[in-house]
Structure 1
Amino acid sequence: MTENLTLRHYGAAESEGIIEQLIALYLEVHAGQGDFYGEDRYRRQLSAHRQRDGWALVTAWLNEELIGYVYGFPLAPDTRWWDGIEEPVPVGFTEEDGHRTFAISELLVRAASRRQGVARALHDDLVGSRHEERMTLLARPDNGPAQAAYRSWGWRTVTRLRPGWPEAPLFDVLTRDPGMKK
């Protein structure tokens, strides 16, 4: 499948025309996973994240059908990303300057296209384009396939965090050096 895969890059302005497709795929992938994964909350999240300086989106298309995407942004000095983090964490771990940490907020692939290298292609494309000192993402502790993939791609778990959204689950906080080759 990956030989027919097309990856496309977007900034916030360029992504305007595919917002509804992004939301539809998110809802499909997270169907039945609870209120936290609902449309209203995700629309607000996506809108807020797209306003962040440096927001970047990479999409995966197969025969002009959106089958996956990854997006993130550099953490600003006043970020709320770390709100809800479980202590202890290393001294200075949550200090940001707008250039230190790139946060991956979403990485998802349609069920029919999983285990075919799509998530890895999206991940590697976005990670390879970044110049921050480190990267971070949140992963559900009970998502075994995602956890295994992240570990194999060089991510390590540091602690846990519960975001400030109503109904938010507890997530593992993972970090990675973007220059790390796996």
Structure 2
Amino acid sequence: MTESAALTLVPTSEVKTYRQLFLDIHVEVRTEVGLMQDPFNAVDLFDERLTRYASRGGWEAIIGYNGEEPVGYVFGVPLGPGSVWWSSMRQLPPEDFTWETGSRTFAVNEILVRKRWRGTAGQAHPAYCTSRFSPSAWRNARRFWSIPLAPTGD
């Protein structure tokens, strides 16, 4: 079932306040789709990644709520100068495409939505991207490759 009620989107840069919520949703969604047995998704390793991501300048999250019920989250960070983000792509884009300034590209590290509200992630992603000033937003898919999602304007 997909919940159709409007979402309340709560932006935050405070990981400590919401850490347990991020961990709980991570476990719920990854268990549901059969991915918790993958060592990459172990709670302690995800918690370490979350801490590293949130320690970077510009880290930001949006948490979606339907009433008092958390629906899911999206979080990421701007790519800094000298970023190695692009090095994992199977075919490297031109150098002028991968040159980073710290504001040109905002990398979406994680987006998870609980089953009941699947289909509503489309509300969170555009809100997230439009809150950024970078010309593009990219999603890191399991650290191995990147997919363009949506431009956020110039």
TM-score normalized by the length of structure 2: 0.84
Rounded to whole Å, the distance in 1 between the matches of 2:122 and 2:149 is 16
Note if contact 2:79-2:103 (Cα within 8 Å) is conserved in structure 1: yes
Residue 144 of structure 1 corresponds to which residue in structure 2? Answer: none
The answer to whether 1:85 aligns with 2:100 is no
The answer to whether 1:37 aligns with 2:41 is yes
Residue 11 of structure 2 corresponds to which residue in structure 1? Answer: 9
Structure 1 residue 134, shift from structure 2 partner:
1.6
Rounded to whole Å, the distance in 2 between the matches of 1:10 and 1:100 is 21
Residue 136 of structure 2 corresponds to which residue in structure 1? Answer: 134
SS in 2 for 1:16: helix
Amino acid at match of 1:53: G
Note if contact 1:68-1:107 (Cα within 8 Å) is conserved in structure 2: yes
TM-score normalized by the length of structure 1: 0.72
Residue 148 of structure 1 corresponds to which residue in structure 2? Answer: none
Note if contact 2:90-2:145 (Cα within 8 Å) is conserved in structure 1: no
Using the TM superposition, name which of 89-98 and 25-34 deviates more: 89-98
Q: Deviations over 1:11-69 (max 9, x none)?
A: 1xx33111011111012111221222221221111101101111111101123121111
Residue 67 of structure 2 corresponds to which residue in structure 1? Answer: 63
Q: Which has the higher contact order (CA 8 A, sep 6+)?
A: 2
Q: Deviations over 1:94-113 (max 9, x none)?
A: 22110111101111100111
Rounded to whole Å, the distance in 2 between the matches of 1:5 and 1:133 is 26
Q: Deviations over 1:132-170 (max 9, x none)?
A: 12221134xxxxxxxxxxxxxxxxxxxxxx73xxxxxx4
Rounded to whole Å, the distance in 2 between the matches of 1:39 and 1:62 is 25
**CA RMSD for the aligned pairs?**
2.1
Inter-CA distance 74–88: structure 2 relative to 1 (3 Å threshold)? closer
Amino acid at match of 1:96: E
Residue 106 of structure 2 corresponds to which residue in structure 1? Answer: 102
Rounded to whole Å, the distance in 2 between the matches of 1:80 and 1:88 is 11
Amino acid at match of 1:178: T
Note if contact 1:138-1:174 (Cα within 8 Å) is conserved in structure 2: no
Structure 2 unmatched runs, 5+ = none
Rounded to whole Å, the distance in 1 between the matches of 2:61 and 2:134 is 16
Higher fraction of helix: 2
Using the TM superposition, name which of 89-98 and 69-78 deviates more: 89-98
Rounded to whole Å, the distance in 2 between the matches of 1:87 and 1:4 is 40
Amino acid at match of 2:91: E
